[in-house]
Amino acid sequence: MIPENLLYTKSHEWVKIDQETAIIGITHFAQEQLGDITFIELPEVGRTLEQGEEIGSIESVKAASEVYSPVSGEVIEINTSLEDAPEKINEDPYGEGWICKIKLSAPPQKLLTPEEYAKLIQEHE
C-alpha cells in the first residue's frame, strides 16, 4: 500500500506534488498503526508552514500522533469533511483521507521515494 506516484516522510506523511501545490496526508501504514481514528485537528487555511513543522494531530482510541508538514508553503485548502468523518483516513488514506493542500514556497527537501519509504516500514516491523 505505497502508491508509486507519491513522495513520503520518515514521520509517515505522504505528499503529492503538482507544480505549485502539494496535497498531503498520512500513509496507510500510519493509519494502521493508529487504529480507528476518532479525531483530527486540521491546520488553519492561510497558515504558512516550514517543512517539518507540526500542522495538527490525529487521535485514535488508544493512540495519538502529530502530523508534520512535508513541505514549506501556505495552507490553501483543508479537508473539512474529516471533522465529521475522520474514519475516511482509515478507509482511504491516499484519497478521501487527504488532509490539506499547500501552496509551495520552496522546493521540498529530502523526501523519500516509494522504495525508500517501503524500506523504512520494513525496518519498523
Partner 1 sequence: MPYIPYTPKQVQDMLEVIGVKSINELFDVIPKELKNSTLNIPSGKSEYEVLTHLKNLAQKNRTDLISFLGAGFYDHYIPAPIKHILQRSEFYTAYTPYQPEASQGTLQAIFEYQTAMARLMEMDFANASLYDGGTAIYEAMMMAVRITKRKKIIISETVNPIYRLMLQCYTKNLHLELVTIPHQNGKTNLEELKKSIDQQTACIIVQNPSFFGELQDYSPLFSLAQKQGALSIISVYALLQSILKTPGEMGADIAVAEGQSLGLPLNFGGPYLGILTTRKKHIRQMPGRVVGKTTDKQGQTGFVLTLQAREQHIRREKATSNICSNQALCAFQALLYIAFLGPEGLKRTAEQSIEKAHYAAQKLTSIPGVKLLNDYAFANEFALTLPVNAFELVNHLTARGFIPGFPLGRYYPGLENCLLLACTEKRTFEEIGILTEMIKAYLTYRR
Partner 2 sequence: MQTIFAKSIPGRQGIWPEPAQKESHHYLPENFLRSKRPNLPELSELDVVRHYTLLSRKNFGVDTNFYPLGSCTMKYNPKILEEIASLPGFTDLHPLTPQLKTAGLFTQGALEVLYETEKLLCEITGMDAFTLQPLAGAHGELTGVMLIAAYHQHKGNKKTKIIVPDSAHGTNPASAAIAGYKVISIKSKQGIIDPAALKEVLDDEVAGIMMTCPNTLGLFETHLPEIVELIHSVDGLLYYDGANLNAILGKMKVGDVGFDVVHLNLHKTFSTPHGGGGPGAGPVGVNKKLEPFLPISRVVKLEDGQFYLKYNYPLSIGYVAPFYGNFGVILKAYAYILRLGKEGLNRVSDHAVLAANYVRKKIEDYLEIPYNKICMHEFVASAVKQAQKGVRALDIAKALLDKGHHAPTIYFPLIVKECLMIEPTETESKETLDKFINDLIEIIQIAETNPELLHQAPQNTPIQRLDEVKAARNMELVEPCTI
Binding site for partner 2 (CB under 8 A): 36, 38-39, 59-62, 86-87
- The Cα–Cα gap between 1 and 80 comes to 25
Number of residues that bind partner 1 (CB under 8 A): 10
Q: Which lies closer to partner 2 via its Cβ, residue 22 or residue 34?
A: 34
- Closest listed residue to residue 36, CA positions, set 12, 3, 60: 60
- Cell numbers standing for residue 19: 507544480
Q: Which lies closer to partner 1 via its Cβ, residue 60 or residue 69?
A: 60
- The Cα–Cα gap between 96 and 28 comes to 12
First to last CA, the chain: 15
CB of 122 to partner 1, least distance (A): 26
SS3 call for 122: helix
Is 38 a binding residue for partner 1 by CB under 8 A? The answer is yes
Identify which range of 18-26, 44-52, 54-62, 83-91 contacts partner 1 by CB under 8 A.
54-62
CB of 36 to partner 2, least distance (A): 4
